[in-house]
Amino acid sequence: MTPAPLRFETLRGDALRAWLPRLVGLRVAVFRDWPYLYDGSPGYEETYLAAYADSPGAAVIVAIDGDRAVGCATCQPMNEAQARVQAAFRGRGLDPARYCYFGESVLLPAYRGRGAGVRFFEMREAHARSLGLPAAAFCAVTRNDNDPRRPKDHVALDGFWGRRGYVRRADVSVVFDWQEVGDDRATPHALGFWVKDPL
Ligand SMILES: CC(C)(COP(=O)(O)OP(=O)(O)OC[C@H]1O[C@@H](n2cnc3c(N)ncnc32)[C@H](O)[C@@H]1OP(=O)(O)O)[C@@H](O)C(=O)NCCC(=O)NCCS
């Protein structure tokens, strides 16, 4: 049986705030897997996602099955993003004011391979253009190729991102701390940037 098509909405401000309780579990569920291995807590997630509702230029694209959120993708002007993201760009002589920063995209595994990831990019890029931003960037965790925790069947997203027109900027990176599954404290993780300029 063909699954029902997903619905996609671009949410901001109060409309986004109303959906937050339905979004908090998504990052925790999806980022628990390789390559993030993130041991997230709903309490932190609520605060984290609420920042997008408070950020005037931000939007979250939500993938909806019936009335259930099954995925989401975030974006905001880099000028409104965390200071360390802006600093990573400034440190390489790049102007954060030109970029829309795509924080993350997460989709429950059962819904993958049906075009939602492509749609997330299209809708975030449309939002960036509506704000007059000429470029977009996002980052992804850097893992060693020989990391024994890498699942044998894991397919890296590099090809998918390249086909969307994004180019890896090996010289631009940022460090975020999070607790990995099985650890008892947060540890630093390096994330490398991908850029599309112009959009
Ligand atoms: C990133 C993520 C959201 C992408 O979702 P997805 O469902 O795999 O993405 P899509 O289905 O749109 O795209 C995957 C491929 O399927 C293709 N596709 C598009 N429509 C399709 C359809 N109707 N049926 C089957 N495949 C389709 C796409 O074209 C794409 O292939 P291509 O790159 O060769 O063009 C998902 O993999 C995920 O949540 N990953 C874990 C979290 C993560 O690492 N996020 C990124 C860092 S924040």
Q: pLDDT band for position 198 (50/70/90)?
A: very high
Domain with residue 79: its CATH number is 3.40.630.30
CA of 107 to the centre of ligand 1 (A): 9
Domain encompassing residue 187: 7-196
Classify burial at 51, counting beta carbons within 10 Å of its beta carbon; exposed 0-12, middle 13-18, buried 19 or more: middle
Bond from prior residue into 134 cis (ω within 30 degrees of 0): no
* 136 inside domain: yes
Region 168-184: mean pLDDT is 97
Which pLDDT value is given to residue 108? 98
CB-based contacts of 92: which residues, under 8 Å, 6+ apart? 169, 171, 172
Which pLDDT value is given to residue 1? 67
* 123 inside domain: yes
Give the tens place of pLDDT for each residue, 37-62. 999 998 999 999 999 999 999 999 99
Domain count, the chain: 1
Task: Tell me if 113 CB under 6 Å of ligand 1.
Answer: yes
Give the tens place of pLDDT for each residue, 18-33. 999 999 999 999 999 9
Task: Tell me if 106 CB under 6 Å of ligand 1.
Answer: yes
CA of 114 to the centre of ligand 1 (A): 7
Token duo for residue 109? 């595994």
Task: Tell me if 112 CB under 6 Å of ligand 1.
Answer: yes
What pTM value is reported for the model?
0.96
* 168 inside domain: yes
Q: Is the pLDDT of residue 128 over 80?
A: yes
* 25 inside domain: yes
* 2 inside domain: no
* 140 inside domain: yes
Token duo for residue 55? 């950020």
Region 132-137: mean pLDDT is 98
Share of the chain above pLDDT 70, in %: 99
* 46 inside domain: yes
* Secondary structure letter of residue 79 according to DSSP: G
Task: Tell me if 191 CB under 6 Å of ligand 1.
Answer: no
The number of angstroms, rounded, from the C-alpha of 20 to the middle of its chain's C-alpha atoms is 16
Protein residue whose Cα sits closest to atom 33 of ligand 1: 160
Ligand 1 pocket test: which of 30, 101, 105 has the largest number of ligand atoms within 8 Å of its C-beta? 105
Between the two ends of the chain, the Cα-to-Cα distance in Å is 37
Give helix then strand counts, H and E, for the chain. Answer: 5, 8
Q: How many CA atoms lie within 13 A of 19 on its CB side?
A: 25
